[in-house]
Structure 1
């Protein structure tokens, strides 16, 4: 593709992301699926540019507002090429030429914008701090409460692209064998510092370069997510539930822990995600699981299986603040239609309902990919107050190898401190002889 054609493809994709309600990663996946003619270099260049627009959206919009321009994908792209990529106005004009596969030719006012932005950089001292760190209004207060003086540092870390972490499927292979194959492919890869079966690939690359991924021998999974699954500590022969399984990333990790023995049930309210989970299990060679579609968190299936499982993971739907470096568009999608308060209430209902599945002596793991106290520590405190059958099992007791958590009792990871996505997990144990509080229908 020509540079102009890449810009046009970027613009089409950016406009679709801006107007479609789906997350950007789903839009991007669908876009490239229909573009078989694009090679890896084209895909990489387009994806990098789209991510640049998403990671700098608040600052680009600030510059556009400063010069009285609308915050459209096209204007953001023009602004980024000027203040981010630092391209001269005449060079941009030659690319936006209206030719075949090229963006529409610049209007006079668009060229004027480029001239006004000449010499500017993406940052400006007049920008409010929230704009400088790309923090949306709905999350600024809770994140400042959480991090205090470290707010700026943590927000800056959320603006950096994440590394490529993979989890080795030990049912099919070993970390040593995967590392040997990656090295033979000329890739720089190292074991993850905390996740026993995890590997980090340092350089950016096309996933098509990973034969082990096609064979089901590895899964793309952030180290933080791998550690959450590790805390479930499912043993071969046990009965396990992944209550909010989604597409099954943690389900697969847990099924692998069990060495294909015992039984794991992946539950979710989204049929499409569960179908994807089942497909991934088959590809990974895992046959100790099933999927279960729930109508809601209080589905009758839960009541009928009360007290029947050794381990239950509740990876609750959350604000996703911990994944902003991986999903930069998520920061501009406020949680749920009714806001954070409604989301926290939903998490509480899900946790209370799923807890009924845990048998006496069993383990309940509550997790989010959020950095907000309201969704994490406060949520656990509220649950324990209402459910005296459960107690906290401190992190040093269940995972003594994790010595750098930001919380003494729970797993608490942040991009700035741990170079992972932001994850939280609390391990709870149901004591014998105490009845769990019933969940209202």
Structure 2
């Protein structure tokens, strides 16, 4: 593709994402490229990189377009991004040439609007803080209250691209060996500082096409998510319930900790996720897991009340801790969404707690940075369930850094730990 054709594809994909606002941007992008097989690998990487940068700076681009009096549309969003990324008006004019496969030529007004951006930068001191940090206006005070004087560092880290985190499946291979095997496939990685199973890859790499991934030796999983599995402290003698298993990432990690022994039940309300999880279990060589489609009052639930040593609740949440990976989610998050999620989390915690046996543990986790979904949720639960108390985690081996054994809960942030934002609390039924 010519540079102009690449820019046309960027504009077309941005328009598609905006028109399908209820679908995740990455899923929309995947469909877009599947329907256009003629776009080669290099061009696909360029278009993807431009789209994610535009999505990562969406509010700032809108702010600039309003400032110069322009219409806000995908075409001008892309042109403005190019100008604020250092291109001259002449270079942008050449890209918007109107020739075959190129965007239509800039109109006189568009050219005048863009000319006013020459010499300007994407980040501008007069921007409101919520615009500067690409978060909804109503969310900024919540972060301000939570992070205090550290807010700039925390929100700056949330703007940065995320690394690619991998978990080595030690049922099949040791971490050092997997690291060397990745290197042989042209992918350099570093051992994670916190997770004993983790490898970190910088940049966007196609690990799903490697033999290691296809053979279940590695899984894509953020380091914070791996730590939550560790916080459960599961052993091979336990009966474990992953209450909101989703596609089974933490189930896989716990099965590995249990050495494929004991029993794990992975449940979820979505059959598609359960089916996806089962494929991952087979690929990883995991066979101590049963799956169940969750339905309140189902017979299998009634028969297992107060029978589990560990119950993990990876609750549905705002996903604010994953905004580095999902920049489009920032634009869709509404205050009513938070209120509905908080109520749903409380209901899920209440249901899951009934499955924990005496002396067993309930582990609550979110990929959120918001106190309402995390610390406040646990405080509310403990008031309603005095039979539970917060306890520090323990594991058969010392797999976690010391700091994680000293507290019954933790809050991970990209600024502090280079992970996604995660919260985790460990509770025990007395």
Q: Fold-level match, TM-score > 0.5? A: yes
Q: Relative to structure 2, which stretch is displaced further, 67-76 or 143-152? A: 67-76
Q: Which residue of 1 aligns with 2:326?
A: 327
Describe the superposition over 1:22-74 as per-residue Cα deviations: whole angstroms up to 9, x where unpaired.
Answer: 11122222223333333332222111101111111111110011122233222
User: Unmatched 5+ residue regions in structure 1?
Assistant: 432-441
Deviation at 1:184, TM superposition (A): 2.6
Conserved? CA contact 1:44–1:206, under 8 Å: no
Flag the 1:291–1:165 CA change in 2: closer, same or farther, 3 A.
same
* Residues in 1 aligned to 2:395 and 2:185: alpha-carbon distance in whole angstroms: 39
Q: Does 1:294 find its partner at 2:294?
A: yes
Deviation at 1:392, TM superposition (A): 0.9
SS at structure 2 position matched to 1:365: strand
SS at structure 2 position matched to 1:137: coil
Q: Which residue of 1 aligns with 2:26?
A: 25
Conserved? CA contact 1:5–1:102, under 8 Å: yes
Q: Relative to structure 2, which stretch is displaced further, 348-357 or 393-402? A: 393-402
Map 1:21-60 → 2, pairs under 5 A: 21-60=22-61
Q: Which residue of 2 aligns with 1:200?
A: 200
SS at structure 1 position matched to 2:110: helix
Conserved? CA contact 1:405–1:413, under 8 Å: no
Map 1:31-430 → 2, pairs under 5 A: 31-83=32-84, 85-207=85-207, 210-295=210-295, 301-334=300-333, 338-395=336-393, 401-403=400-402, 408-430=407-429
The Cα RMSD (Å) is 2.1
* Residues in 2 aligned to 1:65 and 1:334: alpha-carbon distance in whole angstroms: 22
Flag the 1:423–1:67 CA change in 2: closer, same or farther, 3 A.
same
Flag the 1:235–1:180 CA change in 2: closer, same or farther, 3 A.
same
Deviation at 1:397, TM superposition (A): 8.3
Give aligned pairs, total.
428
* Residues in 1 aligned to 2:417 and 2:403: alpha-carbon distance in whole angstroms: 8
SS at structure 2 position matched to 1:351: helix
* Residues in 2 aligned to 1:137 and 1:70: alpha-carbon distance in whole angstroms: 22
* Residues in 2 aligned to 1:54 and 1:389: alpha-carbon distance in whole angstroms: 46
Conserved? CA contact 1:168–1:198, under 8 Å: yes
SS at structure 1 position matched to 2:365: strand
User: Unmatched 5+ residue regions in structure 2?
Assistant: none
Describe the superposition over 1:262-298 as per-residue Cα deviations: whole angstroms up to 9, x where unpaired.
Answer: 22222112221221111111111112212222245x6
TM-score scaled by structure 1? Answer: 0.91
* Residues in 2 aligned to 1:43 and 1:396: alpha-carbon distance in whole angstroms: 46
